[in-house]
Amino acid sequence: MSKYAVIFDMDGVLADNNPWHIRAWMEFAAKHGRKITPADVTSRFGCTNQDYISFLFERAVGKEEAEQLGEEKEKLYRELYKKEMKPLAGLVSFIESCHASGIRIGLGTSAPASNAWFVLDGFHIRKYFSVVIDASQISKGKPDPEIYLLASAKLGVPAEKCLVFEDSAFGVEAGKRAGMKVAGVLTSHKPEELKKADLLVHDFTGMTGETVIEMLKVNE
């Protein structure tokens, strides 16, 4: 059993794909006679589709309805993004290095499972992920730490030995509240918006499994 783990958020971390999510939300809103701005979307990065849809329709939306409407939006996103898909710079070599170093690898995303497999399979990296936590497995969205605590438990690695990669303020807060080290990925927000992170990076260029181990050793 590995002593260390890395847990990745997905959107804005594995890929700089949030511009396509923004477009999809705006198209989805227009289709339903509603209006949402790019700022409305970015301010809720890290939230679940249920949170987004409740905001958009200005009422509490139940889980079943949220799943149905959310998948409608996600199909728009996947259609928009599928021809533009590419991993964030350095991601694949970093994941391969972590795997070679014996570091456990997990995903903790507020997105539905359909999007998780779309990205992991699209980048041919599913085989490296021991644990995938998606929106269907949690009851509370970020900034609640539930998603990362569940990932830690399933990975079999204590929270203090986990390094989270997040691009949103809600996500950074969730990781910190879980008792983990957090690296903020600067794809979606400015550095001052992710100031609670332990480390700020633009991508994964030059990062290795040893980078993770050195960050987590300080807790020993």
> For residue range 84-123, what is the model confidence (pLDDT) as tens digits?
999 999 999 999 999 999 999 999 999 999 999 999 999 9
Q: Which residues contact 80 (CB under 8 A, 6 or more apart)?
A: 20, 23, 24
- Of 3.30.70.3190, 3.90.180.10, 3.40.50.1000, 2.40.110.10, which CATH number belongs to 5-16+86-217? 3.40.50.1000
DSSP-H helix ranges across the chain? 18-31, 38-42, 49-57, 63-81, 91-100, 113-122, 146-155, 169-177, 209-217
- Of 9, 16, 51, 167, the active-site residue reads 9
The topology under which CATH files domain 18-81 is: DNA polymerase; domain 1 (1.10.150)
Start and end residues for every CATH 1.10.150.240 domain found in the chain: 18-81
Q: Say if residue 219's pLDDT is above 70.
A: no
- Report, as an integer, the average pLDDT of 23-45: 94
134 flagged as catalytic:
no
Long-range contacts of 196-202 (CB under 8 A, 24+ apart): 196/169, 196/172, 197/166, 197/172
pLDDT digits (tens, 9 = 90+) for 45-96: 888 899 999 999 999 999 899 999 999 999 999 999 999 999 999 999 999 9
What whole-number percentage of the chain has pLDDT above 70?
A: 99
Domain with CATH 3.40.50.1000 in the chain: 5-16+86-217
